């Protein structure tokens, strides 16, 4: 691979103005679109020596055959042009959105003579006012059912409305009290329009005004002994309270904002978009996306906001994000131009906004986990993953049984290892194993020891007593089955240690690879360069899941072992029973914290006096372990 790309432009040819650039392949397809405040400075990063580039960036620039750019007047113009080109060309190396849900909205058809409220997924109804999105259709219907009790506007179809207005007979929904439009013959077109305005004002956050007005009118009617009217106002208040109870007040009552919680890993991200109007969450939208290039959190926020607001005119006065993008000033100006009024782009640092951001982020983390688990659990995806992995690693057979190993330690002490097993692309948790490593020099030596112990059990009758008992008489122990593929968590050094274990064990029928987490590279034993699986590859998702599961299992085993060790040490102290040991561990939360505590801090635990605290402190000081690294 040549270190200098043949299409690299001369530095002097690239302008220093703001603009938008496009990388194209040999067929002219646009691979990537980006913007820059200085085109020369940004593009020079792509044409640095290839060995210094991120692996995925290197794959993009080596796939491309040309680069072109367009100079614009301002940074905001660059943002707008970037958005237009991404929509037009759908470049494969830009962030790819997987919003396969068509969310339901509540819409008010303001262009009609008598506007009606409907449930729709169509965002292009002329003149319509939208509220939402809602997570489920039933949530929209439930909200409408409650709202029309307080604000009885039209719900019938256009055909029913025309027929009723021509004949002078109420529409059928109006006859059963489900429609309050002019077609129900209970109000005029002008009165109905005023009711629609109130409906919209309430949905936009006018909660307190309507509650206050209805309460005053109810009390006035009651004082005038017009109990029928008072009962009507009471019922409307109950309907409003029912609507408000569905969405708690999460921010000040005058707050209109959109809040974005984001969770991401190396390849994917999930976004939770909370639509807050009048201080209440009026809608929730979930997005998942794939990342091809290595982009920062700020760049991800930039692209998410372009996606959400590019075709929307429903922009609030405040947008809350987890981190500000580099071009936050230009992005804020772009949002202001689209809204026609000021928009503030802020990070939620403290108070109610920060708490709500934590909630949105937690939802995003769960959505990301569901996205990855659903993809890994799909039969077609699993089959494709095994086939892709076989081809990428040059295996003669599909890896129907895969074992993945991870090493975990605490500052070089408490070294443990884990082995997780996947068969047909699914975890076999009953066959997971954990290892304690008594003496080791480093991670590569630990990996070698563990694999030598594992490989000694394959295709033999010397399985552990537990394995033989579970397998039953006359059956081969489960631990003796040969895996088609071994995966180690780590890069080239760990893979070489694992390859040495395979050679020393005489195993030539088992494939091997490692996954380096920083760049998600797949390393093979004898290759100088890693294998880079495509971002959309099902094989990469499978390998990632194996690695993450091995890491989780190793950490769980290490924590359990550390807890058992410290419990054993503490039980040797006279006067310290099981209940007090439990209180100590609960209070300090970790072994390291308990060892580092002073006598005074130990006495803060219920049931621990000064004399006992002194004994605990002295005992742990004499048995002090190295601190965690």
| 3-state per-residue secondary structure call for 378-396 | CHHHHHHHHHHHHHHHCCC
Could you report the per-residue pLDDT of 452-490, keeping only the tens digit for each? 988 888 765 334 433 433 444 445 456 667 889 999 988
| pLDDT score recorded for residue 477 | 55
Q: Is 275 helix (H, G, I), strand (E, B) or coil?
A: strand
623 vs 311, more confident: 311
pLDDT at 165 over 80: yes
User: What share of the chain has pLDDT > 90, as a percent?
Assistant: 4
pLDDT at 96 over 50: yes
CATH number of 11-94: 3.40.1440.10
Could you report the per-residue pLDDT of 257-313, keeping only the tens digit for each? 889 999 887 777 888 888 887 777 777 777 888 776 777 888 888 888 888 887 777
Lowest-pLDDT range, 375-389, 418-432, 457-471, 516-530? 457-471
| pLDDT score recorded for residue 404 | 93
Could you report the per-residue pLDDT of 241-255, keeping only the tens digit for each? 665 555 555 677 677
Residues 487-505 have a mean pLDDT of 88
Angle at 104 between CA 79 and CA 264, to 5 degrees: 50
Rounded to the nearest angstrom, the gap between the alpha carbon of residue 531 and the centroid of all alpha carbons in its chain is 26
52 vs 322, more confident: 322
Could you report the per-residue pLDDT of 181-235, keeping only the tens digit for each? 889 888 888 888 888 888 887 777 655 566 677 777 778 877 877 777 777 777 7
Judge whether 257-373 and 379-558 match in fold.
yes
Could you report the per-residue pLDDT of 385-418, keeping only the tens digit for each? 888 888 888 888 888 889 999 888 766 667 888 8
* CATH H superfamily, domain 572-622: 5' to 3' exonuclease, C-terminal subdomain (1.10.150.20)
Cβ 399 vs Cβ 513: under 8 Å? no
Q: Is 128 helix (H, G, I), strand (E, B) or coil?
A: strand
Q: Is 465 helix (H, G, I), strand (E, B) or coil?
A: helix
CATH topology of domain 379-558: Nucleotidyltransferase; domain 5 (3.30.420)
107 vs 595, more confident: 107
427 DSSP β-pair partners: 422
How would you label 460-469 residue by residue, b for 16+ Cβ within 10 Å and e otherwise? eeebeeebbe
DSSP classification of residue 116: B
* Domain parsing of the chain, residue ranges: 11-94, 105-245, 257-373, 379-558, 572-622
Give the contacts of 166 (CB within 8 A, at least 6 positions apart): none
pLDDT at 377 over 70: no
Residues 430-450 have a mean pLDDT of 85
Q: Is 599 helix (H, G, I), strand (E, B) or coil?
A: helix
Angle at 70 between CA 69 and CA 71, to 5 degrees: 120
User: What share of the chain has pLDDT > 70, as a percent?
Assistant: 82
Structural tokens at position 208: 């307190």
pLDDT at 3 over 80: no
Q: Which residue has the tokens 């006279």?
A: 574
DSSP classification of residue 478: G
**Torsions phi, psi for 108 (to 5 deg):** -115, 120
Instruction: Provide the whole-model pTM.
Output: 0.51
| pLDDT score recorded for residue 468 | 39
Distances (CA, A) of 284 to 104, 135, 277, 346, 371: 11, 6, 12, 19, 17
> Is the Cα dihedral 570, 575, 579, 584 positive or negative?
negative
| pLDDT score recorded for residue 627 | 32
| pLDDT score recorded for residue 405 | 92
How many of the other CB atoms lie within 10 Å of CB of 508? 7
Residues 608-613 have a mean pLDDT of 84
Cβ 399 vs Cβ 484: under 8 Å? yes
pLDDT at 100 over 50: no
Average confidence score pLDDT of the chain:
79
List of long-range contacts for 53-56, beta carbons under 8 Å, 24+ apart: 54/293, 54/294, 54/519, 55/519, 55/521, 55/530, 55/532, 56/292, 56/293, 56/294, 56/519, 56/532, 56/535
CATH number of 257-373: 3.30.420
Could you report the per-residue pLDDT of 353-368, keeping only the tens digit for each? 888 888 888 888 888 8
Structural tokens at position 104: 């339901």
Query: Of 179, 175, 136, which is closest to residue 157 (Cα–Cα)?
Result: 179
586 vs 73, more confident: 73
């Amino acid at each position: 691979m040549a270190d200098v790309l043949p299409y690299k432009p001369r530095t002097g040819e690239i302008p220093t103005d703001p603009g938008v650039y496009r990388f194209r392949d040999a067929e002219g397809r646009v691979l990537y679109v980006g913007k820059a405040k200085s085109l020369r400075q940004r593009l020079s990063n792509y044409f640095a020596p290839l060995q210094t580039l991120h692996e995925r960036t290197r794959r993009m620039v080596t796939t491309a055959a040309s680069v072109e750019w367009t100079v614009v007047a301002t940074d905001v113009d660059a943002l707008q042009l970037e958005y237009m080109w991404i929509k037009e060309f759908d470049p494969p190396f830009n962030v790819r959105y997987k919003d396969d849900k068509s969310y339901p909205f509540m819409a008010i058809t303001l262009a009609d003579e008598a506007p009606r409220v409907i449930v729709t997924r169509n965002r292009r109804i002329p003149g319509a006012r939208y509220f939402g999105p809602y997570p489920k259709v039933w949530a929209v219907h439930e909200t409408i059912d409650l709202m029309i009790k307080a604000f009885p506007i039209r719900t019938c179809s256009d055909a029913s409305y025309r027929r009723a207005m021509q004949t002078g007979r109420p529409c059928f929904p109006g006859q059963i009290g489900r429609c309050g439009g002019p077609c129900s013959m209970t109000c005029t077109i002008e009165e109905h329009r005023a009711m629609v305005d109130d409906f919209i004002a309430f949905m936009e956050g006018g909660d307190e005004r309507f509650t206050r007005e209805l309460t005053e009118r109810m009390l006035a009617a009651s004082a005038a002994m017009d109990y029928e009217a008072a009962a009507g106002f009471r019922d409307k208040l109950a309907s409003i309270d029912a609507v408000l109870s569905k969405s708690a007040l999460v921010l000040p009552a005058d707050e209109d904002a959109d809040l974005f919680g984001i969770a991401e890993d190396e390849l994917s991200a999930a976004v939770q978009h909370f639509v807050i109007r009048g201080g209440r969450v009026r809608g929730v939208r979930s997005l998942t996306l794939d990342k091809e290039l290595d982009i920062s959190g700020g760049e991800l926020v930039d692209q998410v906001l372009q996606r959400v607001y590019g075709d929307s005119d429903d922009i609030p006065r405040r947008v809350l994000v987890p981190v500000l993008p580099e071009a936050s000033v230009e992005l804020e100006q772009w949002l202001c131009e689209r809204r026609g009024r000021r928009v503030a782009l802020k990070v939620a640092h403290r108070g109610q906004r920060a708490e709500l951001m934590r909630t949105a982020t937690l939802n995003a983390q769960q959505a990301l986990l569901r996205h990855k688990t659903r993809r890994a659990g799909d039969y077609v995806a699993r089959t494709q993953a095994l086939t892709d992995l076989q081809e990428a690693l040059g295996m003669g057979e599909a890896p129907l049984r895969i074992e993945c190993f991870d090493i975990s330690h605490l500052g070089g002490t408490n070294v443990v290892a884990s082995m997780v097993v996947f068969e047909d692309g699914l975890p076999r948790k009953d066959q997971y194993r954990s290892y304690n490593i008594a003496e080791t020099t480093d991670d590569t030596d630990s990996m070698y020891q563990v694999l030598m112990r594992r490989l000694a059990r394959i295709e033999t009758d010397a399985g552990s007593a537990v394995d033989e008992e579970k397998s039953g008489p006359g059956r081969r122990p489960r631990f003796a089955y040969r895996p088609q593929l071994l995966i180690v968590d780590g890069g080239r050094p760990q893979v070489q240690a694992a390859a040495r274990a395979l050679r020393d064990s005489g195993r030539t029928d088992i494939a091997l690879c490692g996954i380096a987490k920083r760049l998600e590279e797949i390393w093979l034993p004898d290759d100088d360069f890693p294998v880079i699986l495509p971002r959309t590859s099902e094989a990469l998702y499978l390998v990632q899941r194996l690695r993450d599961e091995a890491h989780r299992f190793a950490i769980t085993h290490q924590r359990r072992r550390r807890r058992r060790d410290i419990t054993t040490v503490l039980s040797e102290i006279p006067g310290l029973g099981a209940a007090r040991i439990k209180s100590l561990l609960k209070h300090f939360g970790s072994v390291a914290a308990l060892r580092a505590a002073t006598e005074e801090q130990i006495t803060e635990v219920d049931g621990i006096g000064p004399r006992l605290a002194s004994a605990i402190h002295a005992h742990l000081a004499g048995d002090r372990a190295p601190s965690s690294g």
